[in-house]
Amino acid sequence: MVTAHDRTTRFIPSWIDGTDWPPAGSQASAPGDGALAKHDPATGALQSLVHRGKRPDAERALAAARRAFEAWAATTPVRRGEALRRAVQLMESRREELASIVHRETGKSFKDAFGEAGAAIEMGYFVAGEGRRFYGKTTTSQTPGRWALVTRQPRGVAALITAANTPIANVAWKAFPALLCGNAAVMKASEDTPETAYACAGIFAEAGVPPGAFNVLQGLGEEAGAPLVESSEADIVSFTGSAAVGRWIAETAGRRLAKVCLELGGKNPLVVADDADLAKAVEGATLAAFSNAGQRCASGSRIIVFERIYDEFARAFVERAGRLKVGPADGDDFGPVINEGQLLAMLAAVERARREGARVLTGGRRLDGPAHGGGYYMAPTVLDGVDPASEASRSELFGPIVCLYRASGFEEALRLANDSPFGLTAAIYTRDVDRAMMFLARVRSGVAVANGPTYGSEPHMPFGGLKDSGNGTREAGAEALDVYSDLKTIYINSDPSGVK
């Protein structure tokens, strides 16, 4: 196993048209116009240099994808699925290596990275299997001798823009369905996790995905991602990230009527009713709020507790949060946040909440000292007395920060749960099946859970949200194929009278 500190600084290139870009020998050797500095979240030390892609590089990648598109699209879905299955098999055989890359780039434990690699593999197997189904529809017609069919057809070139929180799972969620549907793709990897996407590109190539059909463009969003969105060569734009950037993408790509898939933020409510199993609710809330350092769009960052058990729950929850171990090792509960800028933004948000009257029940500070060094570690933070209309209640902080709220009963809890600009996931802990069913029906979210945390998606189930959490598209599940393919209605006319 390679740990986060075992590698010397190296250059991570882009992957365009089946080869490294820029070529070896012309790669930058220091941060600057041609390279970005990528720092180790666990230590703050320089970890790698990354190709700083710009508009010409984006155009090069899009042109490579356009050249590869026709031949890849002409390959049958079964054959495309077989190539993707070979890629998944390679991923499975190299699971430890891929987990080591994720561990190194994110600072999360190897154990968690290994689990994330497993989730990416399961997604790959599910999507590859869809190549044997790839369902359309056969139906009837009012006209005798007329057959009515609906089939899928590829859209063209897909621009895939990923986040850093679960880097290899994020690659799998976008790349596998985009490729299965016959599109050629350009993935703009997060600048915080460049090597994960680069390693996956090599695996796709080894599995038989042809040059140019899958490209990885490194760089900053405004320098490398924006040109992909703005280009008429991108027929689909799939983005995971903030609502603000999602709006810009929808507006920019929408002008040319490109297809857009947006998986945006969440400020997800977890309700604890007064009949809940308190121990299970505390544990579920802890996982929802703090696992992966709170860097989940499905993180449970608003915990709404019935008044009758509020004090008891708050004491138990704060005590549990205080026992969490923070660090990059397998014995730790969660690791650092992805970069220093994000950490500083979280600390500033907590301080603003404190000035507005919120109480910090635990945490609210950066962890340092011998165990954490210069890493980007945020203490698990629990806020109480937060105004539901404040920034801390309504903005996605994307870290291990959670707000507690009191509710007089079910109706107020549901109102608080729905009082958010987001609508991604939601959960309730209760023993009352009627109460649970009412919550699941009335909460405004794309995913709703009874007696479990707010996260925990599965490959065969669609994932996405309402309001500022997305634009109605869904990732994962067979529904992901609807993002990356268009429907074609086909009529076949025959003349029954001519049959002898």
Question: How far apart (Å, rounded) are the C-alpha atoms in residues 226 and 223?
Answer: 6
Other C-beta atoms lying within 10 Å of the C-beta of residue 325 = 11
> Strand pairing partners for 30?
none
- Could you tell me how far CA 26 lies from the centroid of its own chain? 33
**Catalytic residue among 297, 396, 403, 475, which?**
297
**Catalytic residue among 105, 233, 263, 475, which?**
263
Question: How far apart (Å, rounded) are the C-alpha atoms in residues 123 and 125?
Answer: 6
**Hey, is 244 helix, strand or coil?**
helix
Residue 384 DSSP label: E
Question: How far apart (Å, rounded) are the C-alpha atoms in residues 61 and 70?
Answer: 16
Question: How far apart (Å, rounded) are the C-alpha atoms in residues 401 and 348?
Answer: 12
- The answer to whether residue 261 is catalytic is no
- Look at residues 399, 386, 361, 169 and name the one whose alpha carbon lies nearest to residue 265: 399
Question: How far apart (Å, rounded) are the C-alpha atoms in residues 7 and 471?
Answer: 40
| Tokens matching residue 353 | 């909440």
Between strands 447-450 and 425-429, the pairing is parallel
Could you give phi then psi for residue 225, rounded to 5 degrees? -75, -45
Cβ-contact 47, 38 below 8 angstroms: yes
Alpha helices in 356-449 (DSSP H): 391-394, 410-418, 433-442
- The answer to whether residue 181 is catalytic is no
Catalytic residues, by residue number, are 263, 297
